[in-house]
Amino acid sequence: MSRSFVSRVKGIVPIYKEAGISSFTILKWIKLHIAYENFGGKHWYIPHVESYRNLEPYASGVCTVGIGGPSLYIKYLQFCDCRYSVKIKMGQSTTNDFYKSDIIDTKPFNHVNLDDVKNACLSFIGSHIQVMPFVTFREPCSWYELDTLHNEEADNYGENRDLTSPNFWNGEDQMRYKVRDVVHHRRVTCHSIEITDFDPPDISLEIFCGTTFVIRSFVKDLCEKLGTCGSIVKLERTQEGPFTLDHCIDKTDLYLKYLKPALQTNTVFYIDHVRQHLDKLPFYGDKRIKK
């Protein structure tokens, strides 16, 4: 197969990420599909693949992916907006903010009413400083990585984690995470928060915000303002930049006969959307410009 054919597998495309799958796994699937279908007998073609904002493994929704040279434009998503649909369970906090994970704290929530939630949500509207989550999700490890990563994992996960558990060392462990050693802060923007359902201990919200806004940090801060703690039951990103759920392709559409038309259509649509921001970040010094 000619090199000219494989070089055309590049662009930007939104993919619908299902809950229970890591964003790193989605990127791996794309690389494998392109590499396998473009194998010409002598060389493997493995393109550069990246996303700007990875979704948590338990989250679903729009995941914008850049392949090859056009992945340079992924960074302009920081000037765009996102929409999220989130369901919060008050009264318990967990290790990685997912309600089914190990519970680390419980607090009463019976004193919280709808007016309290409305007033607390209003305090997040606008630009403010947000503390990044202490827990970051990592790429699921493969079987050949287990021996080299064992000591590192033991240090990062603490004494309470069962390192002999098959669920922990499984190569398909999509919930693999690491605890930060340093606290990070970031200025974020939230445009609007709509309460779609209030049925204690559950709260459902629709959030319109900048792409740098972190939902896990917001949930923690919101519950603290309400005098309780909380975790996430369901999280879906319904929009990222110009892409909505209607633009997304499914994981079953990663074959080239479906992927290439989607890349052609969505790349032009995306670049037209971010064209007004192209002068805000430089391209020089980036090696991917030649890919």
Chain-wide mean pLDDT for the chain?
A: 83
Which residues are within 8 A (CB) of 243 and not within 5 positions of it... i.e. 6 or more apart? 14, 62, 64, 266, 270
Where does the pLDDT of residue 277 fall: very low under 50, low under 70, confident under 90, or very high at 90 and above? confident
For the CA atoms of 224, 228, 231, 237, the dihedral, rounded to the nearest 10 degrees, stands at -50
Q: Quick one: angle between helices 215-225 and 114-122, nearest 10?
A: 130
Cβ–Cβ < 8 Å for 243, 62: yes
Cβ–Cβ < 8 Å for 169, 163: yes
What does the block give as tokens for 30? 């794309």
Amino acid 195: pLDDT: 97
Work out the widest C-alpha separation in the chain, in whole angstroms: 67
Amino acid 273: pLDDT: 93
Q: Which residue has the higher pLDDT, 165 or 63?
A: 63
Q: Which residue has the higher pLDDT, 236 or 280?
A: 236
- 291 pLDDT above the threshold of 70: no
Where does the pLDDT of residue 11 fall: very low under 50, low under 70, confident under 90, or very high at 90 and above? very high
Q: Does the bond joining 201 to the residue before it have cis omega, within 30 degrees of 0?
A: yes
- 138 pLDDT above the threshold of 50: yes
Where does the pLDDT of residue 221 fall: very low under 50, low under 70, confident under 90, or very high at 90 and above? very high
Where does the pLDDT of residue 177 fall: very low under 50, low under 70, confident under 90, or very high at 90 and above? confident
Q: What is the mean pLDDT of residues 93-115?
A: 94
Cα separation, 237 vs 262, whole angstroms: 20
State the pTM of this model.
Answer: 0.84
Q: What is the DSSP string of 30-90?
A: HHHHHHHHT--SS------EEESSPPPTT-EEEEEEEESGGGGGGGGGGGSEEEEEEEEEE
Where does the pLDDT of residue 44 fall: very low under 50, low under 70, confident under 90, or very high at 90 and above? low
Three-point CA angle 93, 97, 99, nearest 5°:
70
**Within 13 Å and on the Cβ side, how many CA atoms surround 145?**
12
CA proximity to 101, closest of 167, 23, 17: 167
Where does the pLDDT of residue 163 fall: very low under 50, low under 70, confident under 90, or very high at 90 and above? very low
Where does the pLDDT of residue 99 fall: very low under 50, low under 70, confident under 90, or very high at 90 and above? very high
Read off φ and ψ for residue 219, nearest 5 degrees: -60, -45
Which residues are within 8 A (CB) of 10 and not within 5 positions of it... i.e. 6 or more apart? 47, 67, 68, 69, 70, 71, 263, 291
Q: What is the DSSP string of 11-42?
A: EEEEEEEPTTS-HHHHHHHHHHHHHHHT--SS
Amino acid 282: pLDDT: 67
* Class of domain 81-137+183-240 as given by CATH: alpha beta
Cα separation, 290 vs 38, whole angstroms: 20
Q: What is the pLDDT of residues 234-264, one digit of tens each?
A: 999 999 999 999 999 998 888 888 898 999 9
- In percent, the amount of the chain with pLDDT more than 70 equals 80
Element (H, E) at 148: helix 146-157
Cα separation, 255 vs 252, whole angstroms: 7
Amino acid 8: pLDDT: 66
Q: What is the mean pLDDT of residues 10-31?
A: 91
Beta bridge partners of 83: 208, 239
Q: Which residue has the higher pLDDT, 202 or 101?
A: 202
Domain ranges of the chain: 3-80+242-290, 81-137+183-240, 143-175
- 210 pLDDT above the threshold of 90: yes
Where does the pLDDT of residue 290 fall: very low under 50, low under 70, confident under 90, or very high at 90 and above? very low
Amino acid 42: pLDDT: 54
Per DSSP, the three-state class of 93 is strand
